[in-house]
Amino acid sequence: MALSHIASSSSRSNLLKPLAAALSCTPSLRRPISSAADDSRTLTIETSIPFTAHNCEPPSRSVDTTPKELLTFFHDMALMRRMEIAADSLYKAKLIRGFCHLYDGQEAVAVGMEAAITKKDSIITAYRDHCTFVGRGGTLLEVFSELMGRKGGCSKGKGGSMHFYKKDSGFYGGHGIVGAQVPLGCGLAFAQKYSKEETVTFVLYGDGAANQGQLFEALNMAALWDLPAILVCENNHYGMGTAEWRAAKSPAYYKRGDYVPGLKVDGMDALAVKQVCSFAKEHALKNGPIILEMDTYRYHGHSMSDPGSTYRTRDEISGVRQERDPIERIRKLILAHDLATEKELKDTEKQVRKEVDEAIAKAKESPMPDPSELFSHIYVKGLGSESFGADRKEVRLVLP
Amino acid sequence: MATIFRGLGATTALSASSKSNSFDSNRFHFQSRRSLSARKATFLVVRSEGKLNPGLNSRARRPDHFIANAVATKTDSSAASTASKPGHELLLFEALREGLEEEMDRDPTVCVMGEDVGHYGGSYKVTKGLATKYGDLRVLDTPIAENSFTGMGIGAAMTGLRPIVEGMNMGFLLLAFNQISNNCGMLHYTSGGQFKIPIVIRGPGGVGRQLGAEHSQRLESYFQSIPGIQMVACSTPYNAKGLMKAAIRSENPVILFEHVLLYNLKERIPDEEYVCSLEEAEMVRPGEHVTILTYSRMRYHVMQAAKTLVNKGYDPEVIDIRSLKPFDLKTIGDSVKKTHRVLIVEECMRTGGIGASLTAAITENFHDYLDAPIVCLSSQDVPTPYAGTLEEWTVVQPAQIVTAVEQLCQ
């Protein structure tokens, strides 16, 4: 299967490259650990596989990074992983209800993208948004409060898992109807062009949504008017239970833009994601839209109601986890370059776990929204009109 | 069970009425409006425990403040829609354009997007000349992709722009229903108030002259349940310009329904700037015998019928409800209390139309004041046929209105 091919080739290159890099820059091998605090040192690391390009020149495989960045990647991805697994347990404990779509396995996309852009750039995605939200600066407490429907949640408990937003750092959600966020994202890019802001919008969607008509409509308009929109297809190879080859005649999503250039990236490699996102940002500001296909994988099922094993084998899942796990890749890089010890990394993971547990405990104690919140935020600054509950009897009041 | 008090009218002598003093007659002269002085929504709620919810009450007055600079600045209160001062004469589509142009001059974040709005000037000439004046980005010609350009408008609105999305015909906006319902209406709520969507979605709808079924749709009934949006229907050049301006200035998403057959109405409108209120109904003709509620094109059928009725000795009160969501139950209620008979004349379909909702709302709130059941005349539940005679039969005609009033007033 295509996946295992990539897996084996990347594992080979994964192990070899850091050693080769380490050997070539000889002083690094016997460095004392403390000077890993020399954060401004630049490391150049090769991505796992080269980029595949459509209608454009791919960026270089060599990514510049710093020890600080790699350690941040590790911390952030470990945090996201821990958060998602904790959300899994909370869902099973019935503290989170409804739909809960988990992102574990795909953390490298969120983390790599953040490293390439600023908070002035916008990101919009569909419902698998917990980690993207955290990447944009959302706190764990906001995440868990919102998932449990509490007042302190990022959407005041009224949105839920699929409706996380953070306006001040350019995170526009969080949308339940998959595909609908793509025209919205092109609208964000339109506004950026209108206001001449020199910022870009990353519009994330999945391999399932890649077949939506409105995506192509929006892409046409973005290309027509040179909007700074970057369409990112997070291809985890399954649209809920349907494998990509069963849903798309052409699963080469990066090519489907036709006249719009595209790049295919190994989405499990945070550095590759970072490289391609910076490249895309530069491109979009000059030339208009570009499509990025992130080849990634989700360990959980589509959502918590989906076991995730009826349409794929457990061997496949564990195979990817062994060969391509994004956190393991960064861990190996860090260890190979002596940026931290094994113990320090384990301590980071323990600390992250503690943070997550604390946030959950705090969120569990936090209050539910007031009943009056049912009617707030329907209109901006209210109307003085009546509003009813479903039975038109109990709660009738004037909108605030 | 919760009860509702109407603070105005001063006949309610209950403990809650002390709070209703804010609606006393002094208020009538505050910020005088065109027709029937300052009307306020005066719904207080007292739960069965007997305590008023103070948070709600303090805002329960008519929301003058938030639309303070959107209230009509005209001080005289002559008959509803025509200006008493000399102004300038124009057609309805020109009035819409004037309103649009004034708002685009005033606020650089206002932009227009739609099919053929730019270089072509708009299929009904509403945006004629604007592209040369403001440029192609501000008056954007979109490809035929309603779903996505409406979505784009909403995305742009999330960042603070104020787009006006034109549907070449309202019926085409059915393709954008997902965007209008989920993203436009609900985003303010699901984001906990973080985003507001100050978008205006406008276009001509209604039954025209033999345009065929798909181009003669009335979408007000489909959109009316979407929480978070406001709907208004314009009917005269005066209120078209006023509502267009109010809709653009509103922070909420507004759907402005125009009518294909009304674009060439001529009227004299004031030279000075004015804005209509989005939530207010218009008193077209005061009367005593029966309240006729209508909107958009049916207003003219009603006025035609009114002439006949007056000759026959009836005195109908005609109100153009203008605000389709939410209803101006204040104006309507006062009228019902006066006449005790209601006739609704609309162009919407019988099933699930605006008239159906209005009937329910009036019955629920003003049942005690009615002497007869509410009669609702709507279009037939059929796709609009092409043949002229058949098309005439699908919509309400003045003769039917006259008959209905006669029956109602027996």
Q: Is the pLDDT of residue B379 over 90?
A: yes
**Nearest alpha-carbon partner for A208 in A306, A122, A276:** A306
Number of other residues whose CB lies within 10 A of the CB of residue B49: 6
Residues 6+ apart with CB under 8 A from A23: A29
Decide if A384 and B148 are in contact by the 8 Å CB cutoff.
Answer: no
Question: Is the Cβ of A119 closer than 8 Å to some Cβ of chain B?
Answer: no
Which pLDDT does position A2 carry in this prediction?
Answer: 43
- How far, rounded to the nearest angstrom, does the alpha carbon of residue A195 sit from its chain's CA centroid? 27
Q: How far is A117 from chain B (nearest CA, A)?
A: 18
Q: Return the residue in B58, B119, B148 with the most chain A beta carbons within 10 A, the one to mutate for interface testing.
A: B148
At B15-41, the pLDDT tens digits run: 333 343 333 333 333 333 443 333 443
Q: Return the residue in A177, A383, A391 with the most chain B beta carbons within 10 A, the one to mutate for interface testing.
A: A383
Decide if A165 and B194 are in contact by the 8 Å CB cutoff.
Answer: yes
Which of A195, A220, A400 lies closest to B55 in CB terms? Answer: A400
Q: Is the pLDDT of residue A119 over 90?
A: yes
Average pLDDT, rounded, for chain B: 82
Q: Burial of A2 by CB count in 10 Å (0-12 exposed, 13-18 middle, 19+ buried)?
A: exposed
At B175-211, the pLDDT tens digits run: 999 999 999 989 999 999 999 999 999 999 999 999 9
Q: How far is B205 from chain A (nearest CA, A)?
A: 24
Using a CB-CB distance cutoff of 8 angstroms, which residues of chain A are in contact with residue B192? 153-159, 165, 377
Using a CB-CB distance cutoff of 8 angstroms, which residues of chain A are in contact with residue B193? 156, 376-377
Q: Is the pLDDT of residue B6 over 70?
A: no
Which residue is listed with tokens 């101006």?
B328
At B328-369, the pLDDT tens digits run: 999 999 999 999 999 999 999 999 999 999 999 999 999 999
Q: Is the pLDDT of residue B214 over 70?
A: yes
Using a CB-CB distance cutoff of 8 angstroms, which residues of chain A are in contact with residue B187? 173
Give how far Cα B30 sits from Cα of A323, B40, B59, B245, Å: 74, 11, 17, 22
Using a CB-CB distance cutoff of 8 angstroms, which residues of chain B are in contact with residue A176? 182
Decide if A167 and B188 are in contact by the 8 Å CB cutoff.
Answer: no
Q: How far is B180 from chain A (nearest CA, A)?
A: 11
State the SS3 of B26-60.
HHHHCCCCCCCCCCCCCEEEECCCCCECHHHHCCC
Nearest residue of chain A to residue B198 (CA atoms): A380
Decide if B41 and A384 are in contact by the 8 Å CB cutoff.
Answer: yes
Q: Where are the beta strands (DSSP E) in B133-263?
A: 139-141, 162-166, 200-205, 230-233, 254-259
Q: Return the residue in B62, B110, B194 with the most chain A beta carbons within 10 A, the one to mutate for interface testing.
A: B194
**Nearest alpha-carbon partner for B174 in B229, B215, B129, B228:** B215
Count CB pairs under 8 A between chains A and B: 197
Question: Is the Cβ of A170 closer than 8 Å to some Cβ of chain B?
Answer: no
At A180-222, the pLDDT tens digits run: 999 999 999 999 999 998 999 999 999 999 999 999 999 999 9
Nearest residue of chain B to residue A161 (CA atoms): B190
Nearest residue of chain A to residue B229 (CA atoms): A379
Q: What residues pair up with B376 in beta bridges, in sequence order? A: B344
Using a CB-CB distance cutoff of 8 angstroms, which residues of chain B are in contact with residue A173? 187, 191
Decide if A380 and B196 are in contact by the 8 Å CB cutoff.
Answer: yes
Which pLDDT does position B63 carry in this prediction?
Answer: 39
Question: Is the Cβ of A370 closer than 8 Å to some Cβ of chain B?
Answer: no
Which pLDDT does position B25 carry in this prediction?
Answer: 39
Are the C-beta atoms of B180 and A184 separated by less than 8 Å? Answer: no
Using a CB-CB distance cutoff of 8 angstroms, which residues of chain A are in contact with residue B155? 124, 172, 183-188, 190-191
Which pLDDT does position B233 carry in this prediction?
Answer: 96
Using a CB-CB distance cutoff of 8 angstroms, which residues of chain A are in contact with residue B158? 172, 184, 187-188
Question: Is the Cβ of A169 closer than 8 Å to some Cβ of chain B?
Answer: no
The DSSP letter of residue A24 is H
Which of B111, B179, B191 lies closest to A194 in CB terms? Answer: B111
Q: Is the pLDDT of residue B7 over 50?
A: no
Decide if A378 and B41 are in contact by the 8 Å CB cutoff.
Answer: no
At B97-156, the pLDDT tens digits run: 999 999 999 999 999 999 999 999 899 999 999 999 999 999 999 999 999 999 999 999
Which pLDDT does position A376 carry in this prediction?
Answer: 83
Q: Is the pLDDT of residue A393 over 70?
A: no
Q: Is the pLDDT of residue B242 over 70?
A: yes
Using a CB-CB distance cutoff of 8 angstroms, which residues of chain B are in contact with residue A165? 190-192, 194-195
Q: Is the pLDDT of residue A115 over 50?
A: yes
Question: Is the Cβ of B224 closer than 8 Å to some Cβ of chain A?
Answer: no
Which pLDDT does position A26 carry in this prediction?
Answer: 44
Decide if B147 and A190 are in contact by the 8 Å CB cutoff.
Answer: no
Which pLDDT does position B21 carry in this prediction?
Answer: 39
Which pLDDT does position A373 carry in this prediction?
Answer: 86
Give how far Cα A371 sits from Cα of A45, A151, A389, A397, B176, Å: 54, 11, 11, 12, 32
Which pLDDT does position A372 carry in this prediction?
Answer: 85
CA distance A349 to A356: 11
Average pLDDT, rounded, for chain A: 87
Using a CB-CB distance cutoff of 8 angstroms, which residues of chain A are in contact with residue B154? 183-184, 187
How many CA atoms, within 13 angstroms, populate the side-chain half-sphere of residue A111?
28
Question: Is the Cβ of A212 closer than 8 Å to some Cβ of chain B?
Answer: no
Q: How far is B70 from chain A (nearest CA, A)?
A: 14
Q: What b/e string do you get for A149-181 counting C-beta neighbours within 10 Å, with b at 16 or more?
A: bbbbbbbbbbbbbbbbbbbebbbbbbbbbbbbb
Which pLDDT does position A277 carry in this prediction?
Answer: 96
Using a CB-CB distance cutoff of 8 angstroms, which residues of chain A are in contact with residue B189? 158, 377-378
ipTM of the complex: 0.80
The DSSP letter of residue A314 is H
Which of A182, A384, A396 lies closest to B2 in CB terms? Answer: A396
**Nearest alpha-carbon partner for B374 in B361, B359, B396, B385:** B359
Which pLDDT does position B343 carry in this prediction?
Answer: 96
> Three-state DSSP class for B301?
helix
- How far, rounded to the nearest angstrom, does the alpha carbon of residue B193 sit from its chain's CA centroid? 25
Considering only residues 77 to 96 of chain B, which have any Cβ-Cβ distance to chain A shorter than 8 Å?
none
Least confident interval from A105-114, B69-78, B252-261: B69-78
Query: Please, where are the H alpha helices in chain A?
Result: 2-24, 67-92, 107-116, 130-135, 140-147, 181-194, 213-224, 244-247, 270-287, 314-324, 326-336, 342-365
Residue B29, token pair as written in the block: 């002269």
Q: How confident is the model at residue A375 (pLDDT cuts 50, 70, 90)?
A: confident
Question: Is the Cβ of B140 closer than 8 Å to some Cβ of chain A?
Answer: yes
Which of A167, A392, A393 lies closest to B195 in CB terms? Answer: A167
Q: Is the pLDDT of residue A316 over 90?
A: yes
Using a CB-CB distance cutoff of 8 angstroms, which residues of chain B are in contact with residue A124? 155
Decide if B183 and A180 are in contact by the 8 Å CB cutoff.
Answer: yes
Q: How far is A78 from chain B (nearest CA, A)?
A: 27
Catalytic residue positions of B, numbered: 146, 215
Q: Return the residue in B39, B191, B364 with the most chain A beta carbons within 10 A, the one to mutate for interface testing.
A: B191
At B51-104, the pLDDT tens digits run: 333 333 333 344 333 333 333 444 434 444 444 568 999 999 999 999 999 999
Question: Is the Cβ of A27 closer than 8 Å to some Cβ of chain B?
Answer: no
Are the C-beta atoms of A87 and A146 separated by less than 8 Å? Answer: no
Question: Is the Cβ of B3 closer than 8 Å to some Cβ of chain A?
Answer: no
Which of B2, B142, B182 lies closest to A180 in CB terms? Answer: B182
Q: How confident is the model at residue A24 (pLDDT cuts 50, 70, 90)?
A: very low
Q: Select the more confidently predicted residue: A351 or B83.
A: A351
Using a CB-CB distance cutoff of 8 angstroms, which residues of chain B are in contact with residue A156? 192-193
Q: Burial of B18 by CB count in 10 Å (0-12 exposed, 13-18 middle, 19+ buried)?
A: exposed
Q: Is the pLDDT of residue A31 over 50?
A: no
Which residue type occupies B228? G
CA distance A330 to A345: 11
Number of other residues whose CB lies within 10 A of the CB of residue A9: 13
Nearest residue of chain A to residue B361 (CA atoms): A386
Q: How far is A239 from chain B (nearest CA, A)?
A: 20
